[in-house]
Amino acid sequence: MLERILEILKENGIEELRPPQKKVLERGLLDKGKNFLISIPTASGKTLIGEIALLNHLLEDRDKKGLFIVPLKALASEKYEEFKRKYERYGIKV
């Protein structure tokens, strides 16, 4: 599944993951039954880590649902539009 996720990211302009993103994948972000608390500096890739986890969940079973929580209404609207643009073409309903 990781290869498919990386392919989707690449098609959306993300050529390489940052070190904290690679590290969390190495520690099992995509493993079933694991939970993570991500505490890394601003602009180091927390949102993308969340997207990767959500993509993994949704690509496993198209009937599954996911929730992406953000602290501001404006940010929620921005992420909604961004996720629609990036992921609906892969059959993920946003």
- Per-residue pLDDT averaged across 10-16, rounded? 95
Task: Provide CB contacts within 8 A for 54, sequence distance 6+.
Answer: 66, 68
Q: Record the pTM.
A: 0.87
**In whole angstroms, what is the distance from residue 94 CA to residue 86 CA?**
10
Q: Contact 44/18 with Cβ under 8 angstroms? A: yes
Tokens standing for residue 73: 């209404």
Q: Contact 83/94 with Cβ under 8 angstroms? A: yes
Which pLDDT value is given to residue 33?
86
Domain boundaries, the chain: 2-66
Assess whether pLDDT exceeds 90 at residue 13.
yes
**In whole angstroms, what is the distance from residue 43 CA to residue 92 CA?**
26
Assess whether pLDDT exceeds 90 at residue 94.
no
pLDDT tens per residue, range 17-66: 999 999 999 999 999 888 999 999 999 999 999 999 999 999 988 888 99
Which pLDDT value is given to residue 18?
95
